[in-house]
A and B are shown apart, each in its own frame.
Chain A
């Protein structure tokens, strides 16, 4: 159900997510401390290559990590396997990637 490649993809994406999660939380705390408005935040993120790369990588790592993790949970608790399990994992990953990137583009373009 989980081979070496999926295992490594999930572990490596977790390692990528650790600093990005901390950075994300730090930014959120910073943003609310000074009472930044949505317009002010968008003013800083729109057109920023750094914020685009930061959150695009974050979304990619989350999509990989969560879809593989849900694959394990769904297999072990609901018994989904074979082609249905592959389809579930890919659909979950693509849904997270699509909606995530859409959000990233919305605040950085």
Chain B
């Protein structure tokens, strides 16, 4: 330790202990994320001349952040590999869609319900959580691969059920015209195209990307606080113990049955939230939105971000979402304009078997996505921001390997 010559000035900043806190990596990530989340809308509005497209993309990315946080409870904390997480997302979305649209008018009960979004968000949460417990029940005795297979099946069944019960859900025709959330008052201003800052009362979200962005920002913030507390709680430690060694956990007096059920239920409840938000923000819910690819994408997000570590999972979710929905779609036009600017513009047009550079790029985008994933996993197998424990463990493992290598070299 260095000797301090003079006591530091006790400014507001000093009292916040910022320097000590920033040394803690996870706090620093949260700080950066918060800053980016707050500044991002202003910057996009300013640089794109009032276009809210990117804000809408960010709002949808927020849905995936919620999903990733929820799945992380099941997979990262409790170590239960769940490949059907999209099912709970679907259940949350359909809960809102059914009870906040004209859909049920055509159903056998001939009555449309229009419950408010704020209520249905919590109903969706409860129903998704119950579904989580229901799925959890038959899987309690299963481990590893077998658990993954059962959850995979559940993930396939649920969207099918929503598709086949078309009397109720409209099946493949999807549910449209879903109600927009309303609030008693809202602030509007130049950012939303209004002339001056004023208060709108009452306010309907009506697909306003900025309003949805604010909503998902709040939802994600609440979710982060909740899971952080969960992780440090007795229950969080019990999940970790079950992940490590189920028999030993039972020997410690942990009721493994309820603890695992709680992991499924709590994990699912986040996607119930996300589902209601998804239904409202798109105004349309279709069985195709919840296919296996959704479950896998969310799983990729948490593995890539750093399984078990909440800030890592959030970074992973945002990264993957923007790669998939912003970077990759942008690629074909970018490649085309690059080609014309370096004098290879002729490649852009279709000729014979050549589909044109733009189309060709389009064809290989998913290949590129796969390459990005493989590269990232090779470079950082532990994820972008792994939990400190995983880091320590990997370091230990490499240290042991090094020792073994040295011993062999001397032998």
A and B interact: no
Chain B residues within 8 Å of A, Cβ to Cβ: none
Q: Interface residues, chain A, CB within 8 Å of chain B?
A: none
